[in-house]
């Protein structure tokens, strides 16, 4: 999937006002996902993404352990969005990521996240929900 098409899908699914806003959310979410992934999985994900998105995945950064709430808060901080909006935006980008990345690769990546991230990836939560879920 090409960069513009990826961002356009985020725009379409989210109902955002413009391409720039969707691009900002896409960049913030992918950057945060990259910070949460082990280096090997960041490299594998980078091979599945458009060239313009590869730069968003840190190359030398060690994996950061973030709770799901910290993950959402980081995206909110990067996009100047409230918590619930950051949750919605992150889920939208992940939805497009599901379409853009080979399912086997995505499953390998998802396996590196704690179970609490299941809600982000559209899976049934197996434990306590974050405050993003009622």
Residue ranges of the alpha helices (H) in 80-124?
83-100, 103-110
Top-confidence residue, 133 or 100: 100
Q: Could you report the per-residue pLDDT of 20-39, keeping only the tens digit for each?
A: 999 999 999 999 998 988 88
Q: Could you report the per-residue pLDDT of 87-120, keeping only the tens digit for each?
A: 999 999 999 998 998 888 888 888 888 889 888 9
Instruction: Using the predicted structure, report yes or no on whether residue 129 has a pLDDT greater than 80.
Output: no
Q: Give how far Cα 116 sits from Cα of 54, 68, 102, 123, 133, Å.
A: 26, 7, 23, 10, 11
Could you give the CA distance from residue 40 to residue 36 in angstroms, rounded to a whole number? 12
Q: Which of 95, 84, 85 is nearest to 120 (CA)?
A: 95
Which domains occur in the chain, in start order?
3-119 (1.10.490.110)
């Amino acid at each position: 999937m090409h960069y513009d098409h990826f961002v356009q899908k985020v725009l379409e699914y989210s109902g955002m006002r413009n391409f720039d806003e969707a691009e900002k959310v896409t960049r913030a979410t992918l950057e945060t996902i990259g910070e949460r992934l082990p280096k090997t999985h960041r490299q594998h994900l980078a091979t599945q993404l458009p060239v313009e998105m590869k730069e968003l995945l840190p190359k030398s950064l060690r994996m950061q352990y973030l709770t799901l709430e910290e993950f959402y808060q980081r995206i909110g901080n990067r996009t100047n969005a409230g918590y619930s909006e950051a949750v919605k935006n992150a889920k939208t980008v992940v939805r497009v990521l599901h379409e853009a990345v080979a399912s086997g690769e995505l499953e390998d990546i998802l396996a590196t996240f704690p179970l609490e991230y299941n809600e982000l990836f559209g899976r049934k939560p197996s434990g306590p929900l974050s405050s993003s879920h009622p």
